[in-house]
Chains A and B, each alone.
Chain A
Amino acid sequence: DAKTTQPTSMDCAEGRAANLPCNHSTISGNEYVYWYRQIHSQGPQYIIHGLKNNETNEMASLIITEDRKSSTLILPHATLRDTAVYYCIVRVAGNQGGKLIFGQGTELSVKP
């Protein structure tokens, strides 16, 4: 299973873009990169996922490098409500139920 490496914590000013990096150097060709976030004590919330092309939705943008060994989640205009732990996850394929293996995540603090 491909592992991910993320910084333990990051700060971001309210209204600015938050750029959260993730390394997944052992990712295989058919594995997707998923991002989830967990606001204090709540269940994790899906943000975005991608395979090799950049993706954008109403919450965020996902930039995946051409060699797919790393990616960046971008929250374009961070608000105080975006303060959360962000998890970068490589989705396990095959007959394993597609389960998510969570790492430690990045604790993002958005400050006024």
Chain B
Amino acid sequence: NAGVTQTPKFRVLKTGQSMTLLCAQDMNHEYMYWYRQDPGMGLRLIHYSVGEGTTAKGEVPDGYNVSRLKKQNFLLGLESAAPSQTSVYFCASSMGFFVNTIYFGEGSWLTVV
């Protein structure tokens, strides 16, 4: 059981480049999330989705776009990467919004130089 899988795990970008992080879950979960974590800090919510075709902004959405074209996938895009976006990115998913456990992926390390 793969759970939540993120690709790539590591990436180095130059300022201004674009890239997409892919999150895939095989648990048939409705809800999916993207978080970022900076050194020594807790996770901050970037965007989330409550179902296929839906997306919503979290705490720190600026500079990111997301898409949920298929239920099992949640994509996070950086159109023009900036050094401030150097971070570890975590994807997560859950069955429902209230009581259900949220499952996290193992993280994607992104460095923007």
- Tell whether A and B belong to one assembly: yes
Q: Please determine whether B44 and A97 come into contact, CB atoms closer than 8 angstroms.
A: no
21 CB-based A-B contacts, threshold 8 Å = A32-B99, A41-B88, A42-B106, A42-B107, A43-B90, A43-B104, A43-B105, A43-B106, A49-B101, A91-B99, A97-B31, A98-B31, A98-B94, A100-B43, A100-B45, A101-B45, A101-B59, A102-B35, A102-B44, A103-B42, A105-B42
- Interface residues on chain B, size class: 20 to 34
Residues of B within 8 Å of A32, CB to CB, are 98-99
Chain B contacts for A101, CB-based, 8 A: 45, 59
Inter-subunit contact A102/B98 (CB<8 Å): no
Instruction: Check B42–A97 contact: CB distance below 8 A.
Output: no
CB distance from B92 to the nearest CB of A (A): 8
Contacts of B88 on A, CB cut-off 8 Å?
Answer: 41
Segment touching A, from B11-19, B48-56, B78-86 = B48-56
Contact of A98 among B35, B42, B100 (CB under 8 A): B100
Interface: A99 (CB within 8 A): yes
**For chain B, what secondary structure do more than half of its interface residues adopt (helix, strand, loop), or is it mixed?**
strand
User: Which A residues are within 8 Å of any B CB, using their own CB?
Assistant: 32, 41-46, 49, 87, 91, 93, 95-105
Q: Is B64 an interface residue (CB 8 A)?
A: no
**Are the CB atoms of A99 and B103 closer together than 8 Å?**
no
Chain B residue nearest in CB terms to A48: B101
**B4, B49, B101: most-surrounded residue (chain A CB, <10 A):** B101
Contact A97:B99 (CB < 8 A) given known A43-B107, A87-B42: no
In the A-B complex, list the 8 residue pairs whose CB atoms are closest, starting with the nearest: A98-B97, A43-B104, A102-B42, A102-B43, A46-B101, A97-B50, A97-B48, A44-B104
